[in-house]
Structure 1
Amino acid sequence: MFDYMFSERYTSAVILGIIFGLVARLFTLQTDYRQYPTYPHGRIIHISLGIIAAALGAVAVPALFEKDYTAVTFLTLAAQQFREVRNMERETLTKLDEMELVPKGPVYIEGIAMVFEGRNYLAIMSALVTSLLTVLFNFYIGVFGGLLSILLSRLFKSGKSLSEIAEVETADVRVDGFNIYVGDIYIMNVGLKTSQEAIAKHGIGIIYKPKNQNGRVTLSNMGQRQAILHDMSTVLGAYRDSGEPSLVPLAKLDLKDGRLGVLLLVQNADLEKALSSAKQIPLLESAVRMPSEA
């Protein structure tokens, strides 16, 4: 078998490219606390798209070596197809978000859709690198290049978290008359006594202190704040039901220093778990602002 692989370099390049491109997609395909993509059908869809992406990247190299420049056209069509994947994910997640007690918000949804599109391009890259090295050198160099591309794909698997732009700490939830505070940050006004008691019992306060001007502007983004509320409510369990506007988690800024106070109403009031989760909230690419660079 190995003699055949060495003699038929194009064949081995395509086979290795597809294998390592698919493996790269599998490494970046993860169902976590967000429960998306779902088991098993959601994962089947993305694995199938990963195979298509890997095949396109693997076949492109032998085609170009044979001066079949229409291969570039296929890659262009693939890019168009994966943009449609992004649109599909956006539409699906937007419809699902309507049923959430604490929704993700459009900025978070756009970020997730962008990630699914980008990871198909990572599969193409892994297949392309593996196939190219196999054609230029040999089978073993192709395998080495495939393994290296998978490691690089894992580096791009996860983005930054909020702990990189802000210091995170827990704070007391204080009910002062009709006013609700997280630490010294005013959150909202609640008139019903039963709602005040529920907030005092199930409320958890988190404060984000921005490390610089960039972090301050990023935390003020409404989409980033909604992502915090959604992820924290998902991990800790939201204590609310539909038709109860007073029992809604909120995030408000202290306009004096840019701190963000977060009020969460949760079923599992574990402060240590809440603090750990708050630090790992993803930093949304669409919410990042860098005024200091300007």
Structure 2
Amino acid sequence: MHEYTMIIVVGALCGIACRLNLLKTDYRQYPTYPHGIVIHIALGVIASGLGAVLVATLLKKDYTAVTFLTLAAQQFRDVRNMERQMLTNVDELELVPRGTTYIEGIAMAFEGRNYLVIGTAFFAALATEFFHWWGGVVIGLICIWLSSWFMSGKTLVSMVNIKEAEVRFDGPNLFVDDVLIYNSGLKDTQERILKNGMGFILEPKNANSTVTIGNLGQRQAILHDVSTILGVYRDSGEPSLVPLSKRDLNSGKLALFLLPMDRDPVKAKEIIERVPVLENSYRKPLKADVKPDRKL
């Protein structure tokens, strides 16, 4: 057996295991099965091979081989652009779209996972060189756990308090609790909304949460996730039956008006709690170093 075979094999297998662990087709229905999964597994195999072979090239002091990593990074950026374009095209056909912010987050995550695979394969292969194959497996498992933790991210339950609220009409005006949603004067539409609609109030826990849930992309992600899992009571060409979110400008709380096919408040609340906090919408004003202007 060649002296570097064990290093490459253990590193590559740990990298592939990392990619399989991060590859999940959930309620978002992406990546699609089976073609989308095949594409991402193939990219994971390439990334794991690069990470494992990198150790062997460094041990041989063949430092020029490291330049292949720049080519790999360019390929993974192209994958991110491809995912963004595809999801943007598909989003136009959704009854409740994901929104640009959600799409960018998904595309960014798929690019980042390939880098995590490279790192897992690299450290597993490096540990194999110094601690034999069992050491590489142990380090590989640790890297896989760290990758899962790193990609888990925050959810809304950590940022807001969620409670069900009354959906009511005051004349033609639709309210969720005391927050005005929109105006609907048609009697038939009002009856359908009262029969099928649900309302929730999201109260931010701090200033960070207030700014984050005020982001339109984050609000659209909430509406999309609930509508994807519970369905949505509407069809194309019905602008009056659209799930919406509105802020209370005085308190910063967010009112959600939902029209699910499965009208289950308990499930809806749990879904809202598990909505991911999008990286592009997350803000931290509490950590801003704001100082008063000095007098000249």
Q: TM-score, normalised by structure 2?
A: 0.96
For 2:203, the equivalent position in structure 1 comes to 209
**Does residue 49 in structure 1 map to residue 43 in structure 2?**
yes
Q: 2:139 aligns with which of 131, 135, 145?
A: 145
Give the distance between the partners of 2:65 and 2:229, measured in 1 at CA: 45
Matching residue within 175, 182, 189 for 1:181: 175
Distance 1:249 1:78 in 2: 41
| Gapped regions of structure 2 (runs ≥ 5) | 289-296
Cα displacement (A) at 1:75 = 1.0
Check whether the contact 1:9–1:134 (CA below 8 A) recurs between aligned residues. Answer: no
Match of 2:13 in 1: 19
1:21-42 Cα shifts (integer Å, max 9, x gaps) = 0000000000001111111000
Task: Give the Cα separation in 1 of the matches to 2:105 and 2:147.
Answer: 18
Distance in 1 separating the partners of 2:284 and 2:40: 33
Paired residue secondary structure (1:292): helix
Match of 1:65 among 50, 59, 74: 59
Following TM superposition, the consecutive aligned residue runs of length 4 or more in structure 1 with deviations greater than 2 angstroms are none
Work out the CA distance in 2 between the residues paired with 1:87 and 1:31: 20
1:70-101 CA-partner distances (Å, limit 9, x unpaired):
22211111111101110000001000001000
Distance 2:72 2:227 in 1: 37
Alignment of 1:269 with 2:230, yes or no, is no
CA distance in 1: counterparts of 2:44 and 2:194, whole angstroms: 48
Q: Is the 8 A contact 1:103 1:230 kept in 2?
A: yes
Q: Supply the AA of the counterpart residue of 1:40.
A: P
Give the CA deviation at 1:124.
0.6
Alignment correspondent of 1:245: 239
Q: Counterpart in 2 of 1:159?
A: 153
Is the contact between residue 9 and residue 135 of structure 1 (CA under 8 Å) also seen in structure 2?
no
Q: How well do the aligned residues superpose, as a CA RMSD in angstroms?
A: 0.9
TM-score (structure 1 length as normaliser): 0.96
Q: Which residue of 2 aligns with 1:106?
A: 100
- Structure 1 unaligned spans of 5+: none
Residues 148-196 of structure 1 show CA distances to partners (whole Å, capped at 9, x for unaligned) of: 1111112123211011111111111111110111111111111111111
Q: Could you say what secondary structure the match of 1:170 adopts? A: strand
Q: In the aligned structure 1, how far is the partner of 2:168 from the partner of 2:3?
A: 70
Q: Which residue in the other structure is 1:75 paired with?
A: 69
**Pairwise CA distance, 1:9:** 4.0
C-alpha distance in structure 2 between counterparts of 1:178 and 1:79, whole Å? 55
Give the distance between the partners of 2:106 and 2:118, measured in 1 at CA. Answer: 19
Percent of residue pairs bearing the same amino acid type: 57
